[in-house]
Amino acid sequence: MKIDSGLSPKQKEVFGMLKKGKMQRINIFEGSVRSGKTYISMIIWGFWVAGSSKNKAYLMAGKTLRTLKRNVLDPMSEIFGSAFSYNIYKKEADLFGRRVYLESAANADSENKLRGMTLMGAYCDELTLFSESFFTMLLSRLSERGAKLFATTNPDDPDHWLKRNYLDNKKADLLSIKFKLEDNVFLPKEYIRQLQNEFHGVFYDRFILGKWTKAEGRIYDGFSAKNIIGRKELNERLEKKKLILSVVGVDYGGSGSASAFAHVGFDEEFSNVYVLSEYYDKENRSAENLISAFSEFVQREKERYPTLNIAYCDSAEQLLVKSFRRAVRIEVSNAKKRPINTRINMLNRLIASGRFYVVSECRRTINAIESAVWDEHYPALNKRLDNGTSNIDSLDALEYAIERFENQLFKF
Ligand SMILES: Nc1ncnc2c1ncn2[C@@H]1O[C@H](COP(=O)(O)OP(=O)(O)OP(=O)(O)O)[C@@H](O)[C@H]1O
Ligand SMILES: [Mg+2]
């Protein structure tokens, strides 16, 4: 096994706790992004499993199997080499000769499957993204003597079930280990500084400082006049750094909501993101109407910006997606629809680092960004207020266009 560059002082301290038998029934590695939680949690999980019974069952879970693979399974293969192998289709892994089941916490069937299990150990990746019912079920299955659970998470709302019912619960047999960005001594100083500049408001508190903080007030509070530019300034900027790609995001209107398109451009090296044009229609007269509006919008935009070659549409309306596909000569694809908070965080990072611009003609989009507020009625869900007073539709369209390019836009 190779633990190549050794451990950070914080990670050594935590590893020492394992050796001294200080781990509890529930062990939560929480704190800032990139702080080294996942890395040490995997090592601890591996060592603990290797020292536990061979004939018992173990489980690893992530929000989805895809994120579990990316965040944990692949890095574990690197760390443990041949002592760890997995098969995502069989949903099974082998860790030091122990059988480990792999599950997605987002899947209702997984919860049913858990029902019949007796587990010795469990590992949870990004625990705040799990439902409380999945977690309660998991705890009830950890019924072997000395059974333990290990989990990583970033902080969230202080009213989140994990904080309220577990971390703040004095009676829980629980160890919480807090990590700060600075604890990861392997990150270049410049990278840390860049990260600190990219996060704003509640996300700064949670992801950089590692604090459980309530989301209140304006969502995009870093958005200001700096982010709004005239078409002339846009053209000047694009002469210096050309658009390499542009896409249209589409949100279909329903009862009470509007149909919105956002044409979004990305310049060389994905340095900056521009909202080039928008379409907004609250009336939703007919599907035909919308299809021809889309076809005209795409045609006009393609003439102005030949970089346009794909549209990402709300996947909830497959008939409309099909009609849209027939109506234009660019590719029409389903939007990914990442979780709201992931999308909000992406846009906020672009704003905070001065990489996001909206052309001043896009009044609806500007207004939507300026007026978006957190929904205080659902604090634990971190929802965006959606009661008709603010324009969610333009934001959805914009985010469908941006979310596809997370990997190109951000280093992680
Ligand atoms: N001891 C170590 N040796 C080598 N690389 C490390 C070590 N600890 C952490 N890293 C690297 O630092 C980066 C961040 O670490 P890690 O993924 O554990 O952070 P995290 O706290 O889980 O972050 P996030 O909240 O973003 O998931 C990773 O690329 C990881 O491989
Ligand atoms: Mg992690």
For residue 264, what are the contacts with CB-CB under 8 A and spacing of at least 6? 246, 247, 248, 249, 273, 274, 275, 276, 398, 401, 402
pLDDT value of position 106: 85
Q: Which of 41, 186, 341, 412 to mutate to test the pocket of ligand 1 (most atoms within 8 A of CB)?
A: 186
153 Cβ closer than 6 Å to some ligand 1 atom: no
pLDDT value of position 242: 97
CB contact at 8 A, 105 and 130: yes
pLDDT value of position 4: 45
Ligand 2 center from residue 125 Cα (angstroms): 7
pTM of the full predicted structure? 0.79
Enumerate the domain spans of the chain. 9-186, 225-409
* CATH (residue range 225-409): 3.30.420.280
pLDDT value of position 8: 95
In this structure, the dihedral spanned by the alpha carbons of residues 140, 145, 146 and 147, taken in order and rounded to 10 degrees, is -30
The segments of the chain whose pLDDT lies below 50 read 1-2, 4, 378-380
390 Cβ closer than 6 Å to some ligand 1 atom: no
Q: Considering only CA atoms, which residue is closest to atom 22 of ligand 1?
A: 38
CATH 2.60.120.280 for domain 9-186: no
Q: CA-CA distance, 219 to 195, in Å (whole number)?
A: 19
pLDDT value of position 257: 84
Q: CA-CA distance, 142 to 397, in Å (whole number)?
A: 43
